């Protein structure tokens, strides 16, 4: 299964400046992410960054890193620049692994790439997991997705979709949390960067809605393994550091 992983890594962050190089245990967070990606079946793992500090740090652990423009409006635009720089074919598959997902299982990287490879009707593949009713369902930072029976995405939203009009009618857990891991065909990336922001995208602040607006098919499947949350805030970083210390203590014990 031939595919490339690209890890967009911006140094600047409003809530957590310098996030890619924040230390977790004995390594920067970005190195943890790279380790997970390198353990997948990817033929190549490339870090895409707009900051020389990130590029230079990546070189210390032997990672391939490309310096990209600093004015990209999204990580998808950064991926398109990398795909062009690497002269990838239109049908090549690129998996976008977020630079703040240090616990992402390598198996789900392989899964999303294989899902796209098997479905010629899709331009994009992504993953989800069950979401129980409760606080997370109403949390706008937890993106929800609805797909049809073939796994074709119908809509992504920060709102609780599908909406339970009658609570008594809800059986089991019909909701799915979207996992922000994507596999793209390079030809799609070339098209995506030419489109203006779609109306629903502007409202929800979800760029995958731009793809749906233009009639592109997105395949959605349930992740084969649980995917822990990423690092968005200082509290998230503290949580990951405690997790790391716990794991090291278990290994030493």
- In this prediction, residue 29 has a pLDDT band, given cuts at 50, 70 and 90, of very high
Within a domain: residue 142?
A: no
SS3 165: coil
Percent of all residues in the chain with a pLDDT value above 70, rounded to a whole number: 95
The span from the CA of 179 to the CA of 172, in Å, is: 20
- Which domain does 12 fall in, by range? 3-128+178-252
Within a domain: residue 138?
A: no
**Mean pLDDT within 217-227:** 96
Within a domain: residue 243?
A: yes
Within a domain: residue 231?
A: yes
Cα-flanking dihedrals φ and ψ of residue 219, to 5°?
-85, 135
Number of domains in the chain: 1
- In this prediction, residue 70 has a pLDDT band, given cuts at 50, 70 and 90, of confident
Within a domain: residue 14?
A: yes
Within a domain: residue 149?
A: no
* pLDDT per residue as tens digits for the range 101-144: 999 999 999 999 999 999 999 999 999 999 887 778 889 989 99
pLDDT at position 167, please? 62
Query: Residue 185 pairs with which residues in a beta bridge?
Result: 93
Q: Are 34 and 45 in contact (CB under 8 A)?
A: yes
**Mean pLDDT within 187-206:** 95
Q: Are 73 and 192 in contact (CB under 8 A)?
A: no
Judge whether residue 248 has pLDDT over 90. Answer: no
The span from the CA of 124 to the CA of 120, in Å, is: 10
Within a domain: residue 77?
A: yes
Range from 18-22, 200-204, 222-226, 244-248 carrying the lowest mean pLDDT: 244-248
CATH of the domain at 72: 3.90.550.10
SS3 200: helix
């Amino acid at each position: 299964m031939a595919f490339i992983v690209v890890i967009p890594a911006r140094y600047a962050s409003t809530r957590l400046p310098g996030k890619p190089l924040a230390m977790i245990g004995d390594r920067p967070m970005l190195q943890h992410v790279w380790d997970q990606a390198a353990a997948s079946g990817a033929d190549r793992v490339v870090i895409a960054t707009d900051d020389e500090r990130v590029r230079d740090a990546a070189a210390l652990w032997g990672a391939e890193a490309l310096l990209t423009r600093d004015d990209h409006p999204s990580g998808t635009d950064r991926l398109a620049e990398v795909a062009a720089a690497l002269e990838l074919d239109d049908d090549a598959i690129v998996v976008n692994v977020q630079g703040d997902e240090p616990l992402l299982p390598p198996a789900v990287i392989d899964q999303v790439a294989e899902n796209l490879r098997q479905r010629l009707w899709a331009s994009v593949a992504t993953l989800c997991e069950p979401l129980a009713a409760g606080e997370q369902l109403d949390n706008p930072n937890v993106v929800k997705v609805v797909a049809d029976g073939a796994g074709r995405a119908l809509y992504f939203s920060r709102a609780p979709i599908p909406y339970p009009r009658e609570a008594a009618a809800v059986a089991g857990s019909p909701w799915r949390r979207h996992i922000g891991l994507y596999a793209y065909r390079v030809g799609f990336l070339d098209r995506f960067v030419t489109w203006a922001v779609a109306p629903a995208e502007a409202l929800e602040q979800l760029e995958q809605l731009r793809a749906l607006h233009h009639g592109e098919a997105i395949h959605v499947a349930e992740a084969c393994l649980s995917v822990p949350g990423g690092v968005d805030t200082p509290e998230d970083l503290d949580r990951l550091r405690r997790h790391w210390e716990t794991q090291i203590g278990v290994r030493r014990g």
